[in-house]
Amino acid sequence: MKNCLVFLLMIIISLIGLSIGDDKLSTNFYEKSCPLAEHIVQTITWKRVATNSTLPAKFLRMHFHDCFVRGCDASVLLDSTPSNSAEKDAVPNQSLGGFDVIDEIKSHLEKTCPGVVSCADILALVARDSVSFQFRRPLWEVPTGRRDGSISRASEALANIPTPFFNFTTLKQSFANKGLSVQDLVVLSGGHTIGVGHCNFFSNRLYNFTGKGDADPSLNSAYAAFLKTKCQSLSDNTTIVEMDPGSSLSFDNNYFSNLKQNKGLFQSDAALLTDQGSSNIVDELLNSKNFFSEFKQSVEKMGTIEVLTGSSGEIRKRCNVINS
């Protein structure tokens, strides 16, 4: 009788273990339900990046903005409705792009295996695959099994996405709120090695840093003079400038070299040098091998923030609207 009870207990424990496992992200999550899923995502992503080299920066930023609001649940992809202003329409997200690529991938996947692959997983995979195109190999792992959220509020995007005007203390707290460390903060800021910034997010550093018509003294003077030729007034909100001058289409660690020369574009970039611990991490990331290794760890960690798994959330049929 005792042996029977032990055996029964072992079965119960194993079943509980399976149940818990089903609620976690895992590699090859779609191996049986949609074996071609990740291949389809990569194929379409690489095809589109081959003809539009600005997409990696767009998708990496989209992934970041998604994960910082309600976790990595593809809420950033939802459209606004007459009764709700969605994340997509919040100021930090108004310059996002590449939604058409997500839609193309989702459409293909729905034809191949309907109702199986989440938009949240698609976005996480596209971010990885677009940045990895340059190297023709995946730069980090993307465990899958995320499910899609049904709530998207512009107000929450404003409250949770770090702004280019943050100082170090505010940045540190913003990342800590998401379970990310100072190490993650500095490493993920290295994503600014690709992409562009709009003048209105840094021109105060050129023309009115303290409200007295002055420039930010921490900004490299030659770089500031160059930026003034691009952004000629505080009111310019359309002109864009490379975040990593001369290397904005190449994913590398050049961002940190620029930072050490006081050529960080945003106040939030320059802030990384105002804390000794953070500044030490910047020095470590001047080594390219260190940067790629650390970025892999931090972006993988970011991709698991508050994910919906198991029976939570849904699998949207279309990424821009919740299922009816």
Is 130 exposed, middle or buried, given 0-12, 13-18 or 19+ CB atoms closer than 10 A?
A: buried
CB 91 within 8 A of CB 156: no
Q: Residues in the chain, how many?
A: 324
CB 251 within 8 A of CB 56: yes
Q: How far apart are CA 303 and CA 121, in angstroms?
A: 10
Q: How far apart are CA 295 and CA 248, in angstroms?
A: 17
**Total Cβ atoms within 10 A of residue 201:** 21
Amino acid letter at 264?
Answer: G
Task: Please report, for residues 10, 66, 80, 126, 158, the alpha-carbon distance to residue 150 in angstroms, rounded to integers and kept in the order given.
Answer: 38, 13, 12, 21, 18
Catalytic residues: 65
Amino acid letter at 97?
Answer: G
- Most distant CA pair in the chain, distance: 85
Beta strand 240-242 with 196-198: parallel, antiparallel or unpaired?
antiparallel
